[in-house]
Amino acid sequence: MRNKPCKKCGGTGFVQRILWGKRCNVYCTRCNARGEFKKYPDEQKKDRPKMCFARIIGGELQEDLKDIDIFGFLRENGEFVIYGCRDDDQSRFYQGLLNYDKKTGVHGWKTVEDVEEWWKEPDMLLVVSKGDVALC
């Protein structure tokens, strides 16, 4: 909390209170005048990646996930982070991941339902190497 002078009453009862995560609300404790909503400086500087659709054009996943519009964002180093796909392509997406796992044996999935259950866990994503995707 920091005291700042109030523009309405001239008092020094201005404080900042954290509301809604990283946003803060400024108000006067003397006359209850509200200031404007602000973002903290660290949140202002942070550039959020732009989400977009892409298609896999190379690499290990190409054979299993070709012709599927995947959804995610491009990292600064050129890797593409997959969050999911179009609703129309979900069954093909899960089947493609199952086929890839049968080749590699990393997760040991048996059915598409196993893949779907794994994929729907919080914070689950895939990373595709640089140059293996084309943005739509």
pLDDT along the chain (136 residues), means of 10: 62 51 56 54 58 90 90 89 90 93 90 91 84 88
Closest by CA to 78, choosing from 58, 62, 96, is 58
Identify whether the C-beta of residue 93 lies closer than 8 Å to the C-beta of residue 65: yes
User: pTM of the entire structure?
Assistant: 0.62
- Cα gap 122→118, rounded to integer Å: 9
Query: What is the reported pLDDT for 51?
Result: 87
Residue 8: name the closest of 38, 31, 39, 37 by CA.
Answer: 31
Nearest to 71 by CA among 86, 59, 91: 86
Calpha distance 58→63 (Å, rounded):
8
State the pLDDT at residue 124.
Answer: 77
CA–CA separation, 51 and 117 (whole Å): 23
> Tell me, what's the pLDDT at 66?
87
